[in-house]
Chains A and B, each alone.
Chain A
């Protein structure tokens, strides 16, 4: 059986940054396994600008950001396989891999970094009633068709979901000559960046219909129209508010889900809120020698955070293989009262860096609030925040010195304005 010290599943921004960090930490034998035809992952189709503000101090397009990391991987001569898919990982860290030229082989790895990214929630998962005609795409599929394949999916578009992908595609379709009639959003607020509302909707006078969803789809072979309706406080459609909009394209931007089929087959424990693996501050999962980073761990907004997180995972994987890790007492991290989850879910006091950046999302928008970290009843750190919103991942640094000696759990909460 082929053997490798570190196998990295996925050659997108997370896999690339992990590989570079592992090599910089002294590990030679690394293999990146990528199912697509090129390295770079989803960034290849994200042709808009706004990437790299934290990492490079510039606002690059997705392909430009990816190329910085691809160039480093090439310069370091880190081996990679393209058009090659990992079908299974077992608890002994054996990967079953298939590729056009190699056929089906197995690889025994000493360490694995999971960097498979995420997938879009499809229409079926939303149970949208109606016929099943052509012309319905996830926003990311439409993005790939337009930006990589050079096809325009349609000319009269309705978009469901005002997260950033939906907003970006509203602009993209408009600049390519389509008419985007509306962006419908089931929540009473948009999950996308304000910048995108202005530059993708306001710039083109595209209406944003909040508390609105698609309740029916019409058309036999091809979509002819959708029925929009307003929803109440519990997201239930309000009878009598229905409005039919003729269209030839419906784009769905309704959620990203970490892709953890391989993690499940390996027996890695997953977090019910994030959908990704439970990890320590070194990004190690419940299976020794297996690490996770990027969107497979939790869905990010900024690729800069992905690169930073993946760098940590790559370094940790190298330290694991080279037997350089120390261990100590474990402290559990919890999210409560507005903090939906934390990544990492636990910290190892013996091995932690001087500062661990804990990341999470809040469950609703807050103004004039504060983020608090508690060791039992004791407040160990408080950070005032003028604005908190589900669409923006928060970072809360915890220093080794912040953690009391007898502490077993640190709980993160939102302290609301009136408190």
Chain B
């Protein structure tokens, strides 16, 4: 099975063609550097994304949050739903855990701003 994708490693945006067999990328063409090859191999098998959003605090204020590292792309909307349910209390600082191990990904959601 082949798949077309655009590399996001640099502004070139090379059009890549990846051959996927049994869940493994066996060939990548169209890339002009190693980054494109790495990107295609990861993106075709286990695409990941960092999710950022906002959460409503217990006192009604809004605070921006992020998944600390990237999580499986397939869980994006589940993670966004989890953001909706959280109601953390003040005070919050950058890096404080707002949701631990979101949606079973093993990744915490942390605050990205300070709120007194």
Contact = CB atoms under 8 A, between A and B. Distances in A.
Interface stretch (A18-26, A156-164, A194-202, A231-239): A194-202
A175 B53 contact: yes
B64 interface: yes
Chain A, interface SS category: helix
Interface stretch (B6-14, B20-28, B98-106): B6-14
A64 interface: yes
A206 interface: no
A87 interface: no
B11 A193 contact: yes
B94 A150 contact: no
Contacts of B49: 199, 203
Interface in B39-75: 49-54, 56, 62, 64, 66, 73
A292 B112 CA distance: 29
A147 B62 CA distance: 7
A203 B51 CA distance: 12
Interface stretch (A8-16, A311-319, A370-378, A385-393): A385-393
A243 interface: no
Interface in A44-76: 44, 47-49, 59-61, 63-64, 67
A404 B94 CA distance: 50
Contact of B54 (A49, A146, A197, A387): A146
B52 A48 contact: yes
Contacts of B29: none
A198 to B, nearest CB: 5
Nearest to B114: A67
Given A194-B8, A194-B13, A197-B6, A203 B73 contact: yes
B13 A150 contact: no
B86 interface: no
Interface in A136-176: 146-150, 172, 175-176
Interface of B: 5-8, 10-13, 32, 49-54, 56, 62, 64, 66, 73, 76-77, 80, 94, 112-114
24 contacts: A44-B113, A49-B50, A59-B50, A63-B94, A63-B112, A67-B113, A148-B62, A150-B54, A150-B56, A175-B51, A175-B76, A176-B53, A176-B80, A193-B11, A194-B6, A194-B7, A194-B11, A194-B13, A197-B13, A198-B5, A202-B6, A203-B76, A386-B32, A387-B11
Interface of A: 44, 47-49, 59-61, 63-64, 67, 146-150, 172, 175-176, 193-195, 197-199, 202-203, 386-387, 389, 392
Given A150-B54, A386-B12, 10 more contacts: A47-B53, A47-B64, A59-B50, A61-B52, A67-B94, A149-B62, A150-B62, A175-B51, A194-B8, A198-B8
